[in-house]
Amino acid sequence: MMARRLLLDGFDLEDSKDSKSASIQARILLSGLAAQQGLHCPPALWSPRGQGVPCHPNLPVEWHASLSHKRGRVIVGLSRTRFGLDLEYANTRHGSKLEALVGMLPESEIRTHIQQNDCPQSSFYQVWTLYESLFKLSGHTATPAESLLAVRLKSMEELNLNYRVWQDTAWTLGLVSEEDLQPCPSPGALFPGLKPVDISI
């Protein structure tokens, strides 16, 4: 059985600190992906930032959108399968705070997974993007999670969810979906350097 497609697009803004422009650009990119499917979704009509999963009055109910932006880098996705994606940048300040960051994660098995990894900081970002992606996926369901740390990565196996991670030295991208998805184009084609990571939770 062929995997469903996950339509992706991305962009790097010149001003890495302008989160408002990144949010606007994300909605422009989502409208472009919708237009490729013959859907007219004007950028101004996407739900405002901070109000849950991206919604649009012209987007058919069988389509689902997700977006993420960090330090001027924007990535968006559109699929007929419910999913969530998250992009994170490796903040050098997190190195000194890594123990505390790992300690706040709600699952002891996940904390141990990170601590025993050869590169704990890279492992933390892999895990964190999956938490974020799972939280965003829950926003497409009838019972959205109350907070990010209310989700449990161990539930992905119970719910038969698919998860994938791409990473380079600076960036990590996580994806959690209800079905196996084929990113089009691949994250590495959008942002050269991003490569699939073999991760088992």
Check if the beta carbon of residue 81 is closer than 8 Å to that of residue 178. yes
pLDDT (0 to 100) of residue 14: 87
pLDDT (0 to 100) of residue 163: 98
In 37-93, alpha helices (H): none
Q: At what angle do helices 108-115 and 94-103 cross, to 10 degrees?
A: 150
Average pLDDT for consecutive 10-residue bins of the chain (201 residues)?
A: 88 88 97 98 96 96 97 97 97 82 96 95 97 98 95 96 97 98 98 95 82
pLDDT (0 to 100) of residue 94: 67
pLDDT (0 to 100) of residue 196: 98
Check if the beta carbon of residue 85 is closer than 8 Å to that of residue 75. yes
Check if the beta carbon of residue 78 is closer than 8 Å to that of residue 7. yes
pLDDT (0 to 100) of residue 85: 98
Distances, alpha carbon 159 to alpha carbons 36, 63, 64, 134, in Å:
31, 21, 19, 11
d(CA 39, CA 167): 32
Q: Token digits for 142?
A: 């009838």
pLDDT (0 to 100) of residue 36: 97
pLDDT (0 to 100) of residue 1: 57
